[in-house]
Amino acid sequence: MSHLILVRHGQSEWNLENKFTGWVDVDLSAKGKLEACKAGELIKELNIDINFFYTSYQKRAVETLKLILNTLRIKNDKVIKAWELNERHYGALTGFNKDEMKKIYGEKKIHEFRRSWDNTPEPLNKNNPYHPLNILIYNDIPRDKIPDTESLKDTYNRVVEYFKKNISKKLDKNILISAHGNSIRALCKYLFKINNNEISKLEIPTGNPLLINFNNKNKIDSVKYLDKNRAKNLLIFS
């Protein structure tokens, strides 16, 4: 049996402020750092050797993985960073408070922007300081790959393509991925075969490792959150 562990980063400063974050590179909050350390403790209790470590370019996911590895007493020299695992780009909503946007667009519309499969917010102006073109860590990404906005479908396409090319062939090993709410939703949609309508119901909690066990044929054998008190419905059996 092999294991794939998916961890959404701990609470970020903009999670705390209830802002649309997307590709903006924000730090973990104090609570988020504690969540990351707790995630490390839960993974440590599994008593397994992890062979590969993946994360996005964004420091909230990178720092979460670093804190997990510190807890596991593992050097982070083998970490693979992939921009394809970044959070979904929220377009013109980026940087705005979600509750304030509900007052402008209505709660139903904001829910559609956040949870629907192929609903895309208006694009973010390329001159906006929050646009990825103006954020230093993305300078090595081809400009034609940098989005102005994304739906979950767009996020799914880049995440799953990367997963198929770079990770799926290693599922006979133990793998840890530290990523984001929507990049993990995308992976779960693919792995659990969740349909386009049901995916809107999938919630991914911060800092709670999701353990996916594979049999010797690389088929999913079992799935569970390591922190049962903060587990969410995975829709895998729905």
Residue type, 81: K
- Catalytic one among 35, 84, 87, 150? 87
Q: State how far the alpha carbon of 2 is from the alpha carbons of 50, 69, 97, 218, in Å.
A: 10, 19, 40, 8
174 within 8 A of 2, measured Cβ to Cβ:
yes
- Catalytic one among 3, 9, 89, 180? 9
**Residue 87 known to be catalytic:** yes
* Neighbour count for residue 46 (Cβ, 10 Å): 14
The string of DSSP letters for 182-213 reads: HHHHHHHHHHHT--TTGGGG----TT--EEEE
**Residue 180 known to be catalytic:** no
Tokens of 121: 């917010």
The string of DSSP letters for 131-171 reads: SGGGSGGGTTS-GGGS-S---HHHHHHHHHHHHHHHTGGGT
What are the CB-based long-range contacts (under 8 Å, 24+) for 100-106? 101/20
Would you please indicate which residues are annotated as catalytic (active-site) residues?
Answer: 9, 87
